[in-house]
Amino acid sequence: MKKILSLFLTLVMIFALVACGQTATNETGAPKPAGNADSEGFKAALICLHGENSTYDKNFIDAFKVACDNKGVEYTIVTDIPEGEECYNKAAEFADDGYNIIFADSFGHEEYMMKAAKEFPDVQFCHSTGTQAHTAKVANFQDAFASIYEGRFLAGVAAGLKLVELYGDESKAVSDENAKIGYVGAFPYAEVISGYTSFYLGVKSIVPNATMEVQYTNSWYDETAEKTTAQALIADGCKLISQHADSMGSPTACDEANIPNVSYNGVTSKDTFVVASRINWAPYFEYAIECAMKGENIPDDWTGTMVTESVLLTELGDCAAEGTAEKLESVKAELEAGTVKVFDCATFTVKEALADTSDFSKAAFITADDEGHLTAYKADVDDDGTFVGETNVIKTEGDITYFAESEFRSAPYFDIIIDGITIK
Amino acid sequence: MLTNFLIGAIALGVVLLYGCLGETLMEKAGQLNLGIPGIMCMGTAGGCFGAAQYMNGLAAAEDAAWLPLILISICFSILFSVLTGLIYAFLTVTLRCNQNITGLAITTFGTGLSQFIMDPVYVPRDRFGAASALFAKGFVNDPDANGVLRIFFSHGVFVYLAIALAVLFAYVLKRTRLGLHLSAVGESPAVADAVGINVTAYKYGAILIGSAVAGFGGLFYTMDYLKGSWENASTIEAFGWLAIALVIFTLWRPNLSIFGSILFGALLIAAFVLGGSSSQKELLKLLPYVITVLVLVFTSIRNKKENQPPAHLGLNYFREER
Amino acid sequence: MEQNKEPVSAPKQHRGLPFHIIKRVNIPIWKKITIYAVAIVGGLLLSSLICAGLAGKNPLDYFTYLFKGAFGTERKIWLMLLDAALLLGASMALIPAFKMRFWNLGGNGQMLVACLSAYSLSYFLGDKVPEWLLILLMFACSILSGIVWSLIPALFKAFFNTNETLFTLMMNYIATGIVLYCRASWITSGSAQFPTLTKGTLPEIYNNMLPTVAIFVLLTLFMFVYLKYSKHGYEISVVGESVNTAKYIGINVKKVIIRTMILSGAIAGLVGFILIARTGPGLSSDTPNNMGFTAIMTSWLANFSPLLLFLSCFFISFITRGMSQVQQGFGLTNNSIISIVTGLIYFCVIACSFFINYKIVFRKKEGK
């Protein structure tokens, strides 16, 4: 028996020697295409909160692979890294290992990425959905997002057209009762509020008397919560549902009740699917890798737009109204040209927000005219943990006064509940 | 909304009921199986695999017929969950390994393997919309029909199957020799062995049948409640743990399990029906677990013999130790 | 039991089989380690074939990555040691209970409430109280919360024989719910993230991991002595063997259960405190990282013995770190693979435990 023990120990030693002797073979990624000499030896890494099994992360993973293949760089993807110390550990390990650029995909990864960035000034750290890069001023740490509000606005336009198709009379007007839509949100903070407000404004541009009811599930992914919440919204008279939550709970409820659904992040193969919007991260990844390879500085905040193809709409579902494709094309052109702004202050009022006296009130930061249109708003752009707004984000370009979302910082900061939206 | 609330409560209750029935059967035989979450996931993967095989063998999705679809799904579901349960049975009954550890290993393994199988490469889900319509087909299918009728008659076949199984299990456990022998095995295997009951056979039988039944829960959830969509195993795994709690909550009695599971189902979605602030919702989400603890405490204080867990629960039987 | 029924004449399950099974009384430690080692190597080989097969790579690379992930750089070695140390702590929280056959599945919840109390002190008092006092308070509150969370199921077990497996399991969920409730109430921006704080951090010695490793190594040694040589330890093992025997020789079983669970909770509280105070305090409902369950495995592997625990925690930590590297290196973005191979390795080890507890004896052909 002692022989077996010594045999085992020998085996262990052999394996250890093999491990130290061999260098790891090509980790992942396609063979490098011939050409770009800068890409020799360049290594990129992506840190994911979950894995391919989550549509949120799959979006990042797919885009990352495309970007790295296009740039001809070696890459590694690591999954299931929670929003904690482990993110720092992994980022530091990659830096130790000679990686040139490291990306992370979840909001809570930010401080750990920043911590690693401070320790490894020669490596680029790029964080998606983060908020602190522009105040932290760490040269090799930056945030990125996309103007997804434009995508949601367009999705809202499609939704509005559907409402008109279903309930509109000859003059394309929809009764108040039928102009009610519902939204299943995850958490009550800026990213979600910006999302549903832009969606609502899109609907409103087609159906001026539209109202929206919002309910939160308190989770990014909770199938039963999202389905039940959607059912509650439908039971409350909502004629169309959209969501900012990752599961299929809400589309399923819509399917069962025969209510049109506008989705996020992926196509749902249901009869009630109208359209979905999503962020395409590949342009950012390619841009950042390009800058890193050339040794150029990557901006603290980078906001992808429809022009950079960072904001995409999926193909229209069977449920979409006739004429939607053409209308979306024309609105998209106007958005790209700047003749239409999603958060045009003339299109919404904030009287209720001004009258809000609760602990969460934004009234102190709002300046509005007599009709309730915003003239100035101090948004909490500098995320210093105090949740106090300090930067006026209302701009005027040409003759449009608008809330400049994602211009002062890439991650959204629109957190006002505008009139017409009720939170349940 | 009340109608939808009750229908939702029944649907989630049925998911839990399947897991609960499976675990009850095993616990009656003295086996505490913490691998039920993994087995439920594997049953789901199996059923979905079977459904995909059937659906993709058809010329068009509309050709799908109710009976072959359901039968094929059930067969594959049973196959996968029973094989998983077999690993547990072999390790704990034949090799007499620690039940808790083995169960936890089964959960780890089962959730991982089910997730792997459900990859669209192995289980293509493009025709699941049509398939799920058949799973969910009840006697009353119009979403605008009368509320009371919908509450009782709009469910898919798996809901009625669950209730039928619960009634059957209750009857068998209480009133047949088979059931009494099973209870004896769980209470005191030494005594049961001495009077000629084949302890090993009963344990294996309970585990395998229980696994098959538990597996239906996840299958129902994926194909009926979520209309054929699956992202990962985490939701069904969570249901599995709740089902284990439910076994105690309903005192190892399948007929009580029917009501207990619907109550749990209702509590799970109550937070989202009632609305309220984020923090209030979190408190509501806690309720099923708090109530289970209260039931645990209450039944142990009153200490009525018929409400206690099987005496030999969690302990392996080795004849020579008798 | 029917007295007049003829008992079965030969053991049914062994009829016709050429061997039977005997329970082992004693097994030398080296034999035990060898059997486990064979199981582990077997499991790893199986795992390498599966991973390599799925990724289309060389199985030998699996072992390369495995060792590289654990030993590749100084940082990696420290992280592995840190993981092992935390597991040691979590296991030591469970072992006294397990030795008493009190199946404490509530490790996660006990650690989490300790984390919550430590974090909340830093959150609310961070700027108002000097650092040394803050750390002391955090330490005290963590220990106390861990104790409370363990004591509740313990009391009910002691007085009413309430099933502790399920009680502690439910307490995990309740703990998570409380953390989520606090998050929803305190974080008014709605972003659902507890901010990372700066106050209430333990000082570094060489790095921020060495103190932790030292603390838990010392703790394990202390617990080894406590369980083996003290009167308390003796009482724990007697209660674990047989409650009736314990009562006959005058041991107050209720007191032992309660006292042991207080110890268990205190250690869990210590782990929770370290989790929060080791680096800038950060909290999520996942902070214990499921160590409450992993520790069950390590404790069982170590046969509830503190010395063998060094081996089992080190091994599990090595495997976890190594497999993460394998997943990275093989490009497996589907995280189910890791669960599958972890489960398989567990099965191998569990199955092997049969050979540790039982012996197969072949019958001679006398036809008995």
**Is the Cβ–Cβ distance between B320 and A256 less than 8 Å?**
no
Residue A84 lies in a domain: yes
Task: Looking at the structure, tell me whether residues C117 and C176 fall in a common domain.
Answer: yes
The residue range of the domain holding A241 is 148-280+309-423
3-state class (DSSP) for residue B141: coil
Is A82 within 8 Å of C286 when comparing Cβ atoms?
Answer: yes
Distance (Å, whole) CA A89 – CA A79: 13
Taking the CB of residue C10, how many other CB atoms lie within 10 A of it?
Answer: 9
Task: Looking at the structure, tell me whether residues C28 and C126 fall in a common domain.
Answer: no
Q: Is A1 exposed, middle or buried (0-12, 13-18, 19+ CB in 10 A)?
A: exposed
> Which residue segments constitute the domains of chain B, with CATH numbers given?
2-321 (1.10.3470)
Distance (Å, whole) CA B192 – CA B187: 9
The whole-number pLDDT of residue A35 equals 40
Task: Looking at the structure, tell me whether residues C341 and C233 fall in a common domain.
Answer: no
With tokens 């964080």, the residue in question is A127
Task: Looking at the structure, tell me whether residues C278 and C215 fall in a common domain.
Answer: yes
Give the model's confidence band at A12: pLDDT under 50 very low, under 70 low, under 90 confident, else very high. low
pLDDT digits (tens, 9 = 90+) for C257-290: 999 999 999 999 999 999 998 887 888 888 888 8
Q: How many H helices and E strands in chain A?
A: 12, 18
The whole-number pLDDT of residue C110 equals 95
Is B289 within 8 Å of C177 when comparing Cβ atoms?
Answer: yes
Stretch A329-347: mean pLDDT: 90
Residue C24 lies in a domain: yes
Indicate the range of A289-293, B316-320, C274-278, C334-338 predicted with least confidence.
B316-320
Distance (Å, whole) CA C243 – CA C251: 9
The whole-number pLDDT of residue A287 equals 93
The CATH number assigned to the domain holding C93 equals 1.10.3470.10
Stretch C144-153: mean pLDDT: 95
Residue C68 lies in a domain: no
Residue A418 lies in a domain: yes
Stretch A47-70: mean pLDDT: 90
Q: Residue A21 above 90 pLDDT?
A: no
Residue A7 lies in a domain: no
The whole-number pLDDT of residue C364 equals 65
Q: Which residues of chain B have pLDDT under 70?
A: 305-306, 320-322
With a pLDDT cut of 70, the percent of chain A lying above it is 89
How far does B194 lie from chain C, in Å, by closest CA?
A: 6
Q: In sequence order, what DSSP letters do the residues of A343-393 get, joined into one string?
A: TBGGG---HHHHH--STT--GGGEEE-TTS-EEEEEE--S-SSS----EE-
Task: Looking at the structure, tell me whether residues A222 and A331 fall in a common domain.
Answer: yes
Chain C interface includes A31 (CB < 8 A): no
pLDDT digits (tens, 9 = 90+) for A48-58: 998 887 888 88
Instruction: Dig out the tokens for A122 from the structure.
Output: 């020669």
Residue C7 lies in a domain: no
Task: Looking at the structure, tell me whether residues C139 and C33 fall in a common domain.
Answer: no
Residue A63 lies in a domain: yes
| Nearest CB neighbour to B293, from listed C11, C103, C170 | C170
Cα A95–chain centre separation:
26
Is B98 within 8 Å of C350 when comparing Cβ atoms?
Answer: yes
Residue C153 lies in a domain: yes
Task: Looking at the structure, tell me whether residues A330 and A375 fall in a common domain.
Answer: yes
Residue A404 lies in a domain: yes
Q: How many domains does chain A have?
A: 2
Task: Looking at the structure, tell me whether residues A175 and A122 fall in a common domain.
Answer: no
Q: CB under 8 Å to A76, separation ≥6 — which residues? A: A27, A28, A29, A43, A44, A45, A46, A94, A99, C328, C329, C331
Q: CB under 8 Å to A115, separation ≥6 — which residues? A: A88
Residue B212's H or E segment, with its range, is helix B199-220
With tokens 């005191």, the residue in question is B188
Residue A13 lies in a domain: no
The residue range of the domain holding C263 is 75-330
- Return the axis-axis angle of helices C253-277 and C74-99, rounded to nearest 10°: 160
Task: Looking at the structure, tell me whether residues A229 and A363 fall in a common domain.
Answer: yes
Task: Looking at the structure, tell me whether residues C116 and C38 fall in a common domain.
Answer: no
Instruction: Dig out the tokens for B131 from the structure.
Output: 């398939």
Computed over every residue of chain A, the mean pLDDT equals 85
The whole-number pLDDT of residue C6 equals 41
Stretch A34-55: mean pLDDT: 76
Chains that touch A (3 or more CB pairs under 8 A): B, C
**Helical spans, DSSP H, in B118-198:** 128-135, 147-153, 157-175, 177-187, 189-194
> Which of B272, B274, B277, B285 best tests the A interface by mutation, with the highest count of A CBs <10 A?
B272
Task: Looking at the structure, tell me whether residues C358 and C296 fall in a common domain.
Answer: no
Task: Looking at the structure, tell me whether residues A83 and A221 fall in a common domain.
Answer: no
Task: Looking at the structure, tell me whether residues A339 and A271 fall in a common domain.
Answer: yes
Distance (Å, whole) CA A417 – CA B141: 38
Give the model's confidence band at C5: pLDDT under 50 very low, under 70 low, under 90 confident, else very high. very low
Task: Looking at the structure, tell me whether residues C336 and C282 fall in a common domain.
Answer: no
Instruction: Dig out the tokens for A40 from the structure.
Output: 């020799």
With a pLDDT cut of 70, the percent of chain C lying above it is 93
Computed over every residue of chain C, the mean pLDDT equals 85
Distance (Å, whole) CA B28 – CA B184: 8
Task: Looking at the structure, tell me whether residues C110 and C138 fall in a common domain.
Answer: yes
Distance (Å, whole) CA C5 – CA B185: 17
Task: Looking at the structure, tell me whether residues A110 and A239 fall in a common domain.
Answer: no
Task: Looking at the structure, tell me whether residues A286 and A199 fall in a common domain.
Answer: no
**Is the Cβ–Cβ distance between A145 and A310 less than 8 Å?**
no
Is B235 within 8 Å of A223 when comparing Cβ atoms?
Answer: yes
Chain C interface includes A76 (CB < 8 A): yes
Distance (Å, whole) CA C270 – CA C74: 26
Is A246 within 8 Å of B231 when comparing Cβ atoms?
Answer: yes
Amino acid at A365: F
Q: Residue A24 above 60 pLDDT?
A: no
Distance (Å, whole) CA C84 – CA C70: 11
Instruction: Dig out the tokens for B10 from the structure.
Output: 């029944």
pLDDT digits (tens, 9 = 90+) for C210-259: 888 899 999 999 988 988 888 888 888 888 888 888 888 888 888 999 99
Q: How many domains does chain C have?
A: 2
> Which of A49, A53, A360 best tests the B interface by mutation, with the highest count of B CBs <10 A?
A53
- Identify the residue with better confidence: B112 or A389: B112
Task: Looking at the structure, tell me whether residues C91 and C208 fall in a common domain.
Answer: yes
SS (H, E, C) B42-92: HHHHHHHHHHHHHHHCCCCHHHCCHHHHHHHHHHHHHHHHHHHHHHHHHHH
Instruction: Dig out the tokens for A118 from the structure.
Output: 């401070």
Is B1 within 8 Å of A236 when comparing Cβ atoms?
Answer: yes
Would you say the C-alpha torsion B216, B218, B224, B230 has a positive or negative sign? negative
Task: Looking at the structure, tell me whether residues A249 and A334 fall in a common domain.
Answer: yes
Residue A30 lies in a domain: no
The whole-number pLDDT of residue B259 equals 93
Q: Of A270, A304, A338, which closes a domain?
A: A304
The whole-number pLDDT of residue C4 equals 44
Is C189 within 8 Å of A189 when comparing Cβ atoms?
Answer: yes
Cβ contacts of A94 on chain C, cutoff 8 Å: none
Task: Looking at the structure, tell me whether residues A159 and A169 fall in a common domain.
Answer: yes
Is C340 within 8 Å of B277 when comparing Cβ atoms?
Answer: no
Indicate the range of A327-336, A386-395, B68-77, C345-354 predicted with least confidence.
A386-395
Cβ contacts of A61 on chain C, cutoff 8 Å: 333
**Is the Cβ–Cβ distance between B222 and B230 less than 8 Å?**
yes
Residue C70 lies in a domain: no
**Is the Cβ–Cβ distance between A116 and A47 less than 8 Å?**
no
The whole-number pLDDT of residue A283 equals 94
Q: Which residues of B148-187 are buried (b: 16+ CB within 10 A; e: fewer)?
A: eebbeebbbbbbebbbebbeebbebbeeeeebebbbbbbb
Q: Residue C368 above 50 pLDDT?
A: no
Instruction: Dig out the tokens for C110 from the structure.
Output: 């006990």
Distance (Å, whole) CA A78 – CA A49: 9
SS (H, E, C) chain C: CCCCCCCCCCCHHHCCCCEEEEECCCCCHHHHHHHHHHHHHHHHHHHHHHHHHHHCCCHHHHHHHHHHHHHCCHHHHHHHHHHHHHHHHHHHHHHHHHHCCCCCCCHHHHHHHHHHHHHHHHHHHCCCCCHHHHHHHHHHHHHHHHHHHHHHHHHHHHHHCCCHHHHHHHHHHHHHHHHHHHHHHHCCCCCCCCCCCCCCCCCCECECCHHHHHHHHHHHHHHHHHHHHCHHHHHHHHHHHCHHHHHHCCCCHHHHHHHHHHHHHHHHHHHHHHHHHCCCCCCCCCCCCCHHHHHHHHHHHCCCCHHHHHHHHHHHHHHHHHHHHHHHHHCCCCCHHHHHHHHHHHHHHHHHHHHHHEEEEECCCCCC
**Is the Cβ–Cβ distance between A210 and A179 less than 8 Å?**
yes
The whole-number pLDDT of residue C267 equals 95
Cβ contacts of B225 on chain A, cutoff 8 Å: 224, 227, 252
pLDDT digits (tens, 9 = 90+) for A149-196: 999 999 999 999 999 999 888 888 888 888 999 999 988 888 999 999
Q: Are strands A394-397 and A400-403 parallel, antiparallel or unpaired?
A: antiparallel
Stretch C37-46: mean pLDDT: 89
pLDDT digits (tens, 9 = 90+) for A128-152: 998 888 888 889 999 999 999 999 9
Greatest mean pLDDT among A287-291, A394-398, B63-67, C67-71:
A287-291
3-state class (DSSP) for residue B314: coil
Size of interface B-C (CB pairs under 8 A): 159
pTM: 0.87
Q: CB under 8 Å to C146, separation ≥6 — which residues? A: C93, C110, C111, C113, C114, C265, C266, C267, C268, C269, C270, C272
Residue C12 lies in a domain: no
Q: CB under 8 Å to C108, separation ≥6 — which residues? A: C172, C175, C288, C290, C291, C292, C293
Task: Looking at the structure, tell me whether residues C208 and C350 fall in a common domain.
Answer: no
**Phi, psi of A387, deg, nearest 5:** 55, 35
Distance (Å, whole) CA C57 – CA A25: 9
How far does B201 lie from chain A, in Å, by closest CA?
A: 36
Question: Shortest CA distance to C44 belongs to which of A8, B119, A86?
Answer: A8
Instruction: Dig out the tokens for A410 from the structure.
Output: 């890439």
Task: Looking at the structure, tell me whether residues C259 and C287 fall in a common domain.
Answer: yes
Task: Looking at the structure, tell me whether residues A69 and A166 fall in a common domain.
Answer: no
Residue C316 lies in a domain: yes
The CATH number assigned to the domain holding A57 equals 3.40.50.2300
Task: Looking at the structure, tell me whether residues A134 and A91 fall in a common domain.
Answer: yes
Instruction: Dig out the tokens for C75 from the structure.
Output: 């940082």
> Which of B14, B227, B279 best tests the A interface by mutation, with the highest count of A CBs <10 A?
B227
